[in-house]
Amino acid sequence: MDLIKNDFIEFIKQRKSVRSFIYQKIDKETILNILEGARWAPSGNNSQPWRVCICIHPTVKRMVAELSKYGGIIEDAYVNLVIFLDLERGYDRVKDLQGIGAFMENILLGVHAKEDIGGVWIGEILNRKEEVNEIFKLPTDKFELMGIIAIGHIDDAREKVRSKERERRSIDEFTEWY
């Protein structure tokens, strides 16, 4: 069993944000499979307070891209999962936000599990969340933008150029033992 656990830890450590994509279709079954894994994320009271707009159409992607300094990534990705907190499904803000974070991480792990595709969580667009709601015709009093996960086939050449050594703080830096 430890071997499986160690493999899982290595899998997590290998996941990284991918920002360079080649335009190539990702089939609907793959997208649904990623969302299948995501929907099993924990949420307070099992409220599952997420709403996802699956954005593939070039015109809609462009509209969303124009609202972010990372618009190039949004447009280059085959699909963008625009993720909202469904305020009517939620029951406790902190727990709802924790659940959304777990949901989004499950998406990123699901993407990582697929060969040749990668993804990145874009949060900077939150500065324009009301305008994103307008694009998807979602009322701001019922749905709050939490971020976008851009997903696409990895452009290996461009990723190698921008690749650098990844660092993490040591465990000792953020832990206290009692």
- Report the mean per-residue pLDDT for the chain: 95
Predicted pLDDT of residue 86: 98
Domain count, the chain: 1
Predicted pLDDT of residue 164: 76
Cβ-contact 140, 117 below 8 angstroms:
no
**Cα separations in angstroms, 175 against 5, 9, 10, 13, 146:** 22, 19, 21, 19, 28
pLDDT < 50 stretches in the chain: none
Predicted pLDDT of residue 166: 81
Q: How many residues does the chain have?
A: 178
Predicted pLDDT of residue 3: 64
pLDDT in tens, 27-49: 999 999 999 999 999 999 999 99
Residue 168 placed within a domain? no
Nearest to 19 by CA among 120, 124, 105: 120
Predicted pLDDT of residue 1: 60
What is the residue range of 105's domain? 16-161
CATH of the domain at 91: 3.40.109.10
Residue 116 placed within a domain? yes
Residue 170 placed within a domain? no
